[in-house]
């Protein structure tokens, strides 16, 4: 099962830009990013694959993470898995996870969770 967590994707500019397409058959997703991106693939000790893309654009850092689990995640455990991913991302960006800030989003048939992060270090600011 593939989980796509869009951590930060906010475009406030209406000017045109060169687009870079990323496509991954293993994770079963594709995304167009505004600029050239960096990608990284990690496999943890339990076999979960994490694919992370990042690019800088207009003073922002866009980060996309996809998680591929070896076993399907049941509907009952899906919410827990998504919230766990949010905590992992918050920790990786040097932010505290605040459950009170969690909200549900939906675009078309896709839905998920969002949470504002106050980050420090390399990613200092609000995400």
C-alpha dihedral sign at 16, 25, 2, 121: negative
The per-residue pLDDT of the chain, averaged, comes to 76
Angle value at C-alpha 110, between 113 and 78, nearest 5 degrees: 55
Residue 67's DSSP bridge partners are 3, 50
pLDDT of res. 35 = 87
Q: Is the model more confident about 97 or about 14?
A: 97
DSSP 123: G
Q: Residue 70 — pLDDT band, cuts 50, 70, 90?
A: confident
- The backbone torsions φ and ψ at residue 23, rounded to the nearest 5 degrees and listed phi first, read -135, 135
The pTM of this model reads 0.58
Q: Is the model more confident about 73 or about 70?
A: 70
What is the mean predicted confidence (pLDDT) over 77-81? Answer: 78
- The backbone torsions φ and ψ at residue 86, rounded to the nearest 5 degrees and listed phi first, read -60, -40
């Amino acid at each position: 099962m593939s989980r796509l967590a869009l951590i930060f994707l906010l475009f406030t500019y209406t000017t045109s830009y060169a687009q870079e397409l990323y496509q991954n058959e293993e994770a079963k997703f594709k995304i167009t990013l505004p600029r050239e991106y960096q990608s990284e693939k990690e496999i943890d000790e339990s076999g979960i694959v994490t694919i992370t893309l990042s690019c800088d654009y207009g003073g922002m850092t866009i980060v996309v993470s996809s998680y591929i689990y070896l076993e399907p995640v049941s509907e009952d455990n899906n919410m827990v898995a998504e919230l766990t991913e949010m905590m992992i991302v918050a920790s990786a960006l040097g932010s505290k996870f605040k459950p009170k800030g969690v909200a549900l989003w939906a675009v078309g048939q896709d839905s998920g969770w969002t949470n504002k992060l106050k980050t420090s270090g390399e990613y200092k600011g609000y995400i």
